[in-house]
Amino acid sequence: MKRQQLAMTDMMLRCICGQVLTPDVMIIKVGSGSAEIHCPNPRCRLGIIGTYTESKIRKKLRLVKMVEEYNMLFMGSEDLQDTLRHWERAITDKISRNNS
C-alpha cells in the first residue's frame, strides 16, 4: 500500500494556485499538432500551465517556467524530469482515448 501511495505522489505536480495536478484531472485543449494544458482550478489566474507537442519522432511536455520552477523546489530536478516523462505518456494515452 505504501509503495502504491508513493507511485501516486510521484505523478503529482502543483500549480502555483495550490491545485494538485495529475494527468487525470488536467484540462487538455487539443489543437493541430499540439495541446494546451490548463489548470482545472476555475479560480487559477495562470490558466495555461503547459504545452504538449507530439511528432512522429518524439513527444514533449513543456511546463510554464513558473510552474516548472515551483515544482522543482519541492521535487528536485531529477524527480521532476521523471514525472514529466510519466505525464507525457499519460497525456498521449488520454488524447488517443479521446480521439477514438
The yes-or-no verdict on residue 91 having pLDDT over 80 is yes
**Does the global pTM surpass 0.85?**
no
Q: Do residues 35 and 91 lie in contact, with contact meaning Cβ atoms separated by under 8 Å?
A: yes
Q: Which domain holds residue 82?
A: 2-99
Query: Where does the pLDDT of residue 10 fall: very low under 50, low under 70, confident under 90, or very high at 90 and above?
Result: low
User: In this structure, what DSSP letter does residue 28 have?
Assistant: E
Number of domains the chain is built from:
1
Query: What confidence tens digit (pLDDT) does each residue in 14-62 have?
Result: 999 999 999 888 899 988 878 999 999 999 999 899 999 888 888 888 9
- d(Cα 27, Cα 53) in Å, to the nearest integer? 15
- d(Cα 73, Cα 61) in Å, to the nearest integer? 19
